[in-house]
Amino acid sequence: MPYRAPVEDFQFLFDHVVGLDQVTSTDRFSEATADVTAAILNEAGKMCEEVLAPLQRAGDLHPARLENGVVRTSPGFPEGFRAVAEGGWVAIAADPEYGGMGLPMAVTTAVNEMMSAACLSLQLAPLMTQGQIEALEHHASDTLKATYLPKLVSGEWTGTMNLTESQAGSDVGALRTKAEPNDDGTYAITGQKIYISWGDHDCAENICHLVLARLPDGVPGTKGISLFLVPKFIPDDDGNPGRANDLRVVSLEHKMGLHGSPTAVMEYSGATGWLVGEPHDGMRAMFTMMNNARLGVGVQGIGVAEGAYQHALAYAQDRKQGRSLIEGGTGTILDHANVRRMLAGMKADTFAARAIALANAVAIDMETATGAPEWSARAAFLTPISKAFGTYTGISVANTGVQLHGGMGYIEETGAAQYLRDVRVTAIYEGTNGIQAMDLVGRKLSDGGEAAYALIDEIETHAERARETLPDLAEPVWQATETLREAVEWMVARQDVNDRFAGAVPFLRGFARVLGGHFHLSAALAETGEGARTRLARFYITRIMPEHAAHLSHATAGASDLYALQAEDFAA
């Protein structure tokens, strides 16, 4: 499927909306100059357009398959992954000590989005590896770092995350996989894990699994879980893949989408593993990887939104149907008001979600560079919003893309349906969007709303300044922010956690809608109130942002009506 990397949009957001200059002005990221960032974006965009995008349909039509215990990936995927690895795109943010570029997470986020738009099935492999690199950098011993990080950074080896078991999905503490100490300081890992993205493949010479398991003295629940690094092939004395470990792929899942991404059921039968971090502290170590992955998954949704939008726009610019009601029209369905409404909504929502994710990445970079608690709080607060709203946007935009195609959207040959099938799982994995929302109204508001209020104050101050230049856009953003402030106050005041949880999802969406208005207003101001970005901002602020009121009304309704329902009320 043809794809044009939106390099100019990323550069505009970096320069005028999310403040990448704050990051590059720090000592930690001083080498990430404007020229370097532009070169990275352009080269990555070219690779996505020319190498990855042509693999999108091949991955869907020719799924990964398990043959005699070996996974064979879709045609062209090994070559595509090599292009990603050789370009250095696996480890843009990784420590230069181990071969990484040491660039900001904001740049990684932009590149990940482009790869997701071009071929989401393949992009999952470097995303999982990026998360493992970060977990090892923070928690592994020096010996493990020296052995594994250079290979993971180079893309010679890839990484996975093994949490889920059949009886332990979101309730990770219910896992049964066990780890028995060996005499040599290693551990024997035994158990079965499901839903392991890129659990086996033929694109790299070794696959390194991060596995959650319980030591013999581990207490029940999440506090008794430890984290282990379990490679497919045990490295020899020279650090090269040696003998096969005692693990295997039981089967590959038959999925709704992402057919090119091998999702494995993994069996560990006394496999040799190495402890990562401290005993019984596995969840903290794994969350280093999961938080990285949650932003990354939100970005996957945004990438699919961009791809689905471009696909729908190309169709609208070519398809002739009905009579044009405007003078001097194109003669295509782009002349129709409802088609324009759909396209404008797709583009405006994609911009809003992209800006939120990049602002999240900037906060992570500032936390890394300065260690300031306010940046840490902002990064933590924006992560569930980025994940849930990014994936919601991907699903919504892809769904609209099918609708815009009409009957042809339901025909697989057009490719419109693939975007929707592929992106649908992103709202489920790496913590369902419901769990993200519960985290937002729970742990992320446990500071009394301090991080939320800091964002709200910033948005209101910005809107007040914008009243002088763009009053018709600034005023509704300011008013929406006041409504959001009231919703935060309501959430913080609740004693019954179910009152918060009952409205968690609409609260997250309402917050995201206001953030989207704020970033669209920033774009319009940067354009001095005239041009395509201003027109798009006016569409979003006038037509889409008002949804925040309904979301926040729902969010503050409490839980009593839900629990007033009796079990029989749910009967079919």
Spatial separation of the C-alpha atoms in residues 273 and 186, rounded to whole Å: 6
**What's the 3-state SS for 425-455?**
HHHCCCCCHHHHHHHHHCHHHCCCCHHHHHH
Shortest CA distance to 226 belongs to which of 212, 237, 238, 236?
Answer: 212
CA dihedral 192, 194, 197, 201 (to 10 degrees): 50
Query: What is the β-pairing status of strands 157-162 and 178-181?
Result: unpaired
Q: Residue 203 and residue 82: Cα distance in Å, rounded?
A: 7
In the chain, how long is the greatest CA-to-CA distance?
A: 82
Output the CA–CA distances (angstroms, integers) from residue 524 to 263, 462, 484, 505, in the order listed: 42, 12, 22, 29
CA distance 6 to 305: 12
Q: Which residues of 544-568 are buried (b: 16+ CB within 10 A; e: fewer)?
A: bbebbbebbebbbebbeeeeeeeee
What Cα–Cα distance (Å) separates residue 95 from each residue in 133, 138, 145, 238? 9, 11, 11, 22
Q: Which residue has the tokens 């025909």?
A: 411
Q: What is the C-alpha separation between 374 and 379, in angstroms, rounded?
A: 9
Mapped onto helix, strand or coil, the DSSP state of residue 256 is: coil
371 — phi, psi (to 5°)?
70, 10
Residue type, 313: L
Q: Which two three-digit tokens encode residue 149? A: 């990080």
Residue reference for tokens 């419901």: 434
How many residues are listed for the chain in this entry?
A: 572
In sequence order, what are the residues at sequence separation of 6 or more whose Cβ sits closer than 8 angstroms to the Cβ of residue 374? 454
Question: Which is nearest to 307 in space by CA: 18, 56, 509?
Answer: 56
Cα 465 to Cα 34, 49, 273, 457: the distances in Å are 27, 40, 57, 12
Inter-CA distances, 216 with 167, 177, 280, 564, Å = 20, 11, 10, 44
- The residues that bridge with 251 in the sheet, in sequence order, are 265
Q: Would you call 137 a catalytic residue per the annotation?
A: no
Catalytic option among 113, 137, 430, 460: 430
- State CA 350 to chain mean position distance: 13
Neighbouring CB atoms inside 10 A of 185's CB total 8
Specify which residues 158 forms β-bridges with: 207
Report the C-alpha gap between 129 and 433 in whole angstroms: 22
* Tokens (6 digits) for 266: 């993994």
Which of 316, 503, 529, 506 has its CA nearest to residue 403?
316
Backbone angles phi, psi at 430, to 5 degrees: 55, 40
Phi, psi of 445, rounded to the nearest 5 degrees: -105, 5
- Write out the catalytic residue numbers: 430
